[in-house]
Structure 1
């Protein structure tokens, strides 16, 4: 039996049913982007702004602008009309940290003719500009069925946390924009751990702060990196959300279950 730090009483637990399997859990950890928040709606536009600013910086220095295909290399998918239509769930944009993306961007600047130092500074300046534009527009929206499921978790007494490759301050901000911050007791971004996904560090830290054993936790995410993180941490259940149903199940070999929406999850409090 798992006890909270005060030792006064056991934590509430619930049975989580999915794909004919059941798991007894005391907490659920969620990835943020693509799991709670519409990933492409926010980060597709952010990526386009980031690259546009960087290209402008290169042109000001009489250097060639970035290739229009760069976002596709990072994982953004476009339709025939050149509109963003989706993303690769195993791409740098989806799985990487902001620092990973800035390193990739700086590399493009170096290849274009900047020194490495100049490229790093320009990447950070452009990141700040893209962040400011995102904050002004508050470009964020919940995925379908998220809020009702979070309410079910609250009613079942489960503790909830965030484990995201985003930076913690930005993640907290997005949760506020989406009006779901009160549901979560902890928020662990990549900046709070030594190793990000697919390593177990974020899950381990979140569980310590929640006061729960990893074996009594479910993780829900939208990438194989989330599933590998969950598996390496030894959690009770690793559940992949493929809301678009565009990805083959084989893309999540580490998952216990793959769902198209939160309606496929059922909860029942057991104590």
Structure 2
């Protein structure tokens, strides 16, 4: 296996964002006179993008399409205010990103978070410059677990899916990578919709991004040409 690029999930892999998501979710629910959700509930709701998070917060009320549309609008307002305020880098992320950058191949962040939140968050957390490509949840008509976001990232980096290692935290990431034809490794922390990843489902479980970089290094047979962020 010759690795030429990496794609990395955002929420639950690079960043612990659940605090901000909980603030925005419960502010949205308060606007709609609906009961608040616990942090544990919201943690389990994260993984398939903003609209699914909102629908899961609404519960039975999500059958009302007009209410869902209003809830999404209110969530956008509140999350724009909360985005990054209590978000934290997971341990090992900066050291891991530095190690990956030293390997010389391009990195892409592939997330289901909408672009209006993704790039400001990457910048606020000081990690935007590590990524040659950012694919957000609304960059394409499809989100993970569909393969298109990974294919798009690979094409932008000049890599083939089989030569791209995907790093994530959930079955959602594994399904996207398998569908795209990418090898995939997972961290055991993060947001997995209540279903922890199993080592049998991915190519490896790694404790953090430092170990992910070591795993990637073991797969590099010849150093690729470094690539900058596309203009």
TM over 0.5: yes
CA shift in 2, pair 1:123/1:156, >3 Å? same
Cα distance, 1:142 vs structure 2: 0.8
Find 1:141's aligned residue among 68, 74, 88: 88
Structure 1 segments unaligned to the other structure (5+ residues):
1-22, 56-65, 79-85
Cα distance, 1:106 vs structure 2: 6.4
Compare the two structures and name the one with the higher strand fraction: 1
Cα distance in structure 2, aligned partners of 1:28 and 1:101 = 26
Question: What are the residue-to-residue correspondences of 1:30-179 with 2, within 5 Å?
Answer: 30-55=8-33, 66-68=34-36, 71=37, 76-77=39-40, 87-88=43-44, 93-104=45-56, 108-109=60-61, 116-117=65-66, 119-135=67-83, 138-179=85-126
CA shift in 2, pair 1:141/1:107, >3 Å? closer
Task: Tell me which residue corresponds to 1:231.
Answer: 178
Cα distance, 1:204 vs structure 2: 0.5
Cα distance, 1:227 vs structure 2: 0.6
Cα distance, 1:127 vs structure 2: 1.3
Question: What are the residue-to-residue correspondences of 1:189-228 with 2, within 5 Å?
Answer: 189-228=136-175
Which stretch has the larger CA shift, 175-184 or 122-131?
122-131
CA shift in 2, pair 1:48/1:147, >3 Å? same
Cα distance in structure 2, aligned partners of 1:231 and 1:201 = 12
Is 1:243 the equivalent of 2:189? yes
Task: Tell me which residue corresponds to 2:226.
Answer: none
Q: Secondary structure at the match of 2:141?
A: coil
CA shift in 2, pair 1:110/1:166, >3 Å? closer
Q: What is the TM-score when the length of structure 1 is the normalising length?
A: 0.70
Q: Secondary structure at the match of 1:100?
A: helix
Cα distance in structure 2, aligned partners of 1:116 and 1:192 = 24
Cα distance, 1:105 vs structure 2: 5.6
Q: Which structure has the larger Rg over C-alpha atoms? A: 1
RMSD: 2.8
Is 1:258 the equivalent of 2:178? no
CA shift in 2, pair 1:116/1:24, >3 Å? closer
Q: Is the 8 A contact 2:170 2:196 kept in 1?
A: no
Cα distance, 1:108 vs structure 2: 4.8
Cα distance in structure 1, aligned partners of 2:105 and 2:75 = 36
Q: Secondary structure at the match of 2:138?
A: helix
CA shift in 2, pair 1:96/1:156, >3 Å? same
Structure 2 segments unaligned to the other structure (5+ residues):
224-231
Count of paired positions: 216
Cα distance in structure 2, aligned partners of 1:109 and 1:248 = 24
Cα distance in structure 2, aligned partners of 1:129 and 1:229 = 29
Cα distance, 1:103 vs structure 2: 4.3
